[in-house]
Amino acid sequence: MSWAPTFLPSFIYMRKFNVTGLCIPGKHYMVDISEKIRQIIPMIEQGDYFTINRARQYGKTTTLYQLELLLAKECTVIAISFEGVDDRVFETPENFCQGFLYICSKYFSERDLPGSEVWVDSSVTSFDLLDAFLNKVCKAQKIVLMIDETDKSSNNMIFLRFLGMLRDKYLRRGRDAGATFQSVILAGVYDIKNLKMKMVLAGAHQLKDGEKRINSPWNIAAEFEIDMSFSAPEIATMLAEYEKDHQTGMDTEAVSKEIRAYTHGYPYLVSRLCKIIDEKLEKNWTVQGVQKAVRVILYEKNLLFDDLGKNLESDEDFYKLLYDIAVNGESYNYYMTSPAMDWGIMFGILRKQNEQVVIDNLIFETIIYNHFIIKKRIASVNTGEADITRTMPDEVIEDDKLDMALCIEKFARHYYELYNDKDSKFLESQCRILFLTYLKPILNGKGFYYVEAETRNRQRMDVIVDFGPEQFIVELKLWYGEQKHEKALGQISKYLDSKNKTEGYLLTFDFRKTENVGKPRTEWVEYNGKRILDVMVGL
C-alpha cells in the first residue's frame, strides 16, 4: 500500500523515557540492569529471603519485573503487590489469608498461566491453615514469591503476623520439617522493622506499655547490598539505545557522566532529566543540555520533591542534621543507632559514603538549600530582620549575561550595611545561607547554583553558578589568618584548573572585631595564572 513507507517508520520512535510506574522493554528507554539482576539470582538460588528497601521511584518495581521475566523460565513465580488492595484484607487473619490466596490466583489467571485453581481454597481461614496449605503447594513445585509495595497499607499488624508465619516455615525448612517458598522477596520504602513505626506515625497503632517502636519478624532476611543507583556506564546503555533510534550525534559518555554527576544515579532523576531533554529542550543532548534540564527540574513540582519537603519538616533532629551537613559543612559518621540518619537513608535523601552520611545527590541538595532559604526569608519577614535580597536582577544582568563580580560586590556592601552590628557568632553560622539567600532571586529561574560536595566543610564551600552558557565558581571561606587565606587562593586556582576556568571568585567572611576589619575590600589578584576576585567582608 502507498502509505506503508511513511507510516511504518513512526513505530521506530515509539519508545520514550518513563518516569511513572513500571518500565517495559520495547516500550521505554531503559538502563541495562542485567548486571544487578545477575547479582540477585544467586540469592534466590540459595533460598534466601530478603527485602529490597529503597526510596520512592528507585526502580524497585522494574527490578522485580525483570526478575520475574527471567525466573519464570526456570520455576514458578508469583509476583504480587499490595498497592490498591482493600484495607479490609488487613483487618483479620481470615480476611488476609483469603485475600492472599485470591491475589495469587488472580496472578495466574490474568496471565493465562496454569495453576489459578490451585490457589482457591475457601477453607483457609487462619494462619495455621495457610501454613498447611503452603506446605502442600510448595512440595509440588519450586515457587518464588515476590511482594511489591509491602508498606502500602496503614495497618500492617496482620501482615507482620503473616511474615512471622513465613519466618517459622523458613526455619522449619532448614530442619527438613516442611516445605515453603524457595525464596521470598519483599519490596517497599519502609524496612520491615520500621513498619510498626510507620503505623504509629500514621495513627494506626498505639504502642502498649513496654512495646518497642521497632521490631522485626523478618530477622531471617539476608542482607541486600546491591547498589540500585545507576552508574555512568549504565546510564550510557540507555542513551545508546536512544541514539540508535534518533541519531542525534550525542557524546553518550560525556552526557551520561554529566547526568550521573547531578543525580548520583537516582533512577527517577536520571529518567526525568532524559525526558526533559527529549521532550522540552529540542533534544539538546549535550553537557549544556543536561545543565538546562537540571534548571527545569529544580522548578518542577512532583511527588518525589513533595516527599522530600515533608520529610525535611517531619523531625527536628533530621532537619538539624541536614542543615549541619549542607550549610555548616559538618561531617557526620554513620551510626546505626541514629533514627535521623536511618530516616534519611530510608527515603533516599542521605546515603553512606566512606563511613559518613552525605546528601544523596546535587539535585536533592539544591532543593534542600532552597527549602532553607525560603524558611530564612520567611523568618526574616516575621521577625523584622534585615533582608539581604536587595539587589534586583537587572542591576547585575544585562543582555542575559550575569556580572558575577558586580553581584558579589553588591552582596558585600549590603552585608556590611545590614549586619555590621550583629553578633559574630550569629553571623558565622548564617553567612553561607545569607549568600545563597541573596543569590537565589537574582538567578530567578534563568540560572541555578549547587554546592560542590567535595569542598564543603566548616572552612570552605565552593558554589558553582550556571547562568546561560556561563559557569561561575565562587569559594566561600571563613578568615583564619593570612597563611590560610593564601592557601585558599591556591585551592580555588586548582579548582578552576579542574573546571578549565581562568577566572574565579573568593568571598571571605572575617569575624574579627579589629581596626583592620570593616567595610568590604575588593581586588582582582593574579594567582598561578588565574584571575581571582578577592572579596573580604567583616563586622
Pairs from 510-519 (Cβ < 8 Å, separation ≥ 24): 510/478, 510/479, 510/536, 510/537, 510/538, 510/539, 511/424, 511/427, 511/428, 511/478, 511/479, 511/538, 511/539, 512/479, 512/538, 512/539, 513/424, 513/539, 518/416, 518/420, 519/416
Confidence class of residue 107 from pLDDT cuts 50, 70 and 90?
very high
- Using the 8-state DSSP alphabet, how is residue 391 labeled? -
pLDDT for 2 equals 36
> Does position 197 have pLDDT exceeding 80, yes or no?
no
Q: What is the mean pLDDT of residues 107-123?
A: 95
Per-residue pLDDT tens over the stretch 463-507: 999 998 899 999 999 888 899 999 999 999 999 998 899 999 999
pLDDT for 514 equals 59
Q: What is the mean pLDDT of residues 320-331?
A: 90
pLDDT for 194 equals 63
> Does position 336 have pLDDT exceeding 90, yes or no?
no
> Does position 362 have pLDDT exceeding 80, yes or no?
yes
- How many percent of the chain have pLDDT more than 70? 89
> Does position 421 have pLDDT exceeding 80, yes or no?
no
Give the residue with greater pLDDT, 406 vs 431. Answer: 406
Q: Which residues contact 459 (CB under 8 A, 6 or more apart)?
A: 329, 477, 478, 480, 484
Per-residue pLDDT tens over the stretch 143-155: 999 999 887 765 5
pLDDT for 226 equals 95
503-509/530-537 β-pairing: parallel
Pairwise CA distance, residues 170 & 178, whole Å: 9
pLDDT for 204 equals 56
Per-residue pLDDT tens over the stretch 62-88: 999 999 999 999 999 999 998 888 888
pLDDT for 171 equals 95
Contact 63, 37 (CB under 8 A): yes
Say whether 524 sits in a helix, a strand or coil: strand
Mean pLDDT of the chain: 88
The identity of residue 372, as a single letter, is F
pLDDT for 387 equals 80
Contact 321, 332 (CB under 8 A): yes
Rg of the chain over Cα atoms, rounded to whole angstroms, equals: 28
pLDDT for 198 equals 59
Pairwise CA distance, residues 119 & 34, whole Å: 32
Domains and CATH numbers, the chain: 34-201 (3.40.50.300), 387-539 (no CATH)
> Does position 1 have pLDDT exceeding 60, yes or no?
no
Q: Among 326-340, 359-373, 407-421, which range has the highest average pLDDT?
A: 359-373
Q: Could you give the C-alpha distances from 114 to 77, 107, 143, 394, in angstroms and in order?
A: 12, 10, 14, 70
> Does position 9 have pLDDT exceeding 50, yes or no?
no
84: left (phi over 0), alpha (psi -120 to 50) or beta: left
- How many percent of the chain have pLDDT more than 90? 65
Query: Nine-digit cell at 373?
Result: 532559604
Contact 267, 228 (CB under 8 A): yes
pLDDT for 195 equals 63
